A = this chain, B = another copy of it.
Amino acid sequence: MGKAGSMKIAAQRGGKPAALGSAVRQPERRGHSRGNKAPAPASAANAATGDDTEITALSLPATELSPSMQAYFAKCEEKLGFVPNVLKAYGFNSAKLEAFAAMYNDLMLAPSGLSKLEREMIAVAVSSVNRCYYCLVAHGAAVRQLSGDPVLGELMVMNYRAARLSERQRAMLDFAVKLTEQPWAVEEADRERLRRTGFTDADIWDISAVAGFFNMSNRVASATDMRPNSVYHALTR
């Protein structure tokens, strides 16, 4: 099944994270139990405490995963050693999970004039504008892995303008970031700049669709306080 290749993380560090044993476990509700407003000081506990078990701030009713999604999660476990938390978050509803996974896999993994690394670079540059913790952690790791260059991942998170990019990749990210910040102002001149640096119209669609997708995902993640698997942090450093 090709979809299993959709998981971006090819290895983990330090063995199987305990929290990933039960992929269909529902996230516990944190929102209400945090009502007393007294979290432990950051210096007194690891800031990632709970990230692997409390995936979102929403308490959503558990459902049985569809057989195809059960297989998908099993494939993740097998290949990555864990199921990305975004999938577990969507897992409260198999129809939503399937729609999300289908779109994600087409955009990020299907053949395209953009390399997989370029698509991940767009993902992170867009997520940086939107300051999305989940997506910056998960896709920052993907940029590090696909490029083999930890610094490139940092640059995409911090300020893509500071990276030493080819003219092509700079134009690609400028388009994606303008589309994120001022979608109303994207016009023919912006598309023409992409064509001048060698992108086809199909490539322009893909740049737009990936940038659009992360403008969606960033917001679902921020709206629900989605937490990344803690395993991402140390990958390819």
Contact = CB atoms under 8 A, between A and B. Distances in A.
A58 B204 contact: yes
Interface in A183-230: 183-188, 191-192, 195, 201-202, 204-205, 207-209, 211-213, 215-220, 222-225, 230
Given A59-B201, A204-B58, A132 B219 contact: no
Determine which residue in A38, A147, A220 has the highest number of CB atoms from chain B within 10 A of its CB, and name it: A220
A117 to B, nearest CB: 6
A67 interface: no
A215 B219 contact: yes
B155 A133 contact: yes
A102 B98 contact: yes
A131 interface: yes
B162 A133 contact: yes
A34 B40 CA distance: 34
Nearest to A115: B43
Interface residues of A, number: 97
A224 B215 CA distance: 16
A159 B131 CA distance: 6
A193 B49 CA distance: 26
A150 to B, nearest CB: 6
B29 A60 contact: no
A47 B149 contact: yes
Interface of A: 29, 31, 34, 37-43, 45-51, 57-61, 92, 95-96, 98-100, 102-103, 106, 110, 115, 117, 121, 128, 130-133, 136-137, 147, 149-152, 154-155, 157-159, 161-169, 175, 179-180, 183-188, 191-192, 195, 201-202, 204-205, 207-209, 211-213, 215-220, 222-225, 230, 233-234, 237
Given A31-B191, A41-B165, A99-B99, 18 more contacts: A39-B164, A42-B149, A42-B152, A43-B117, A48-B151, A60-B202, A92-B205, A96-B209, A103-B103, A131-B183, A133-B155, A150-B233, A179-B222, A183-B222, A183-B223, A184-B222, A186-B222, A212-B218
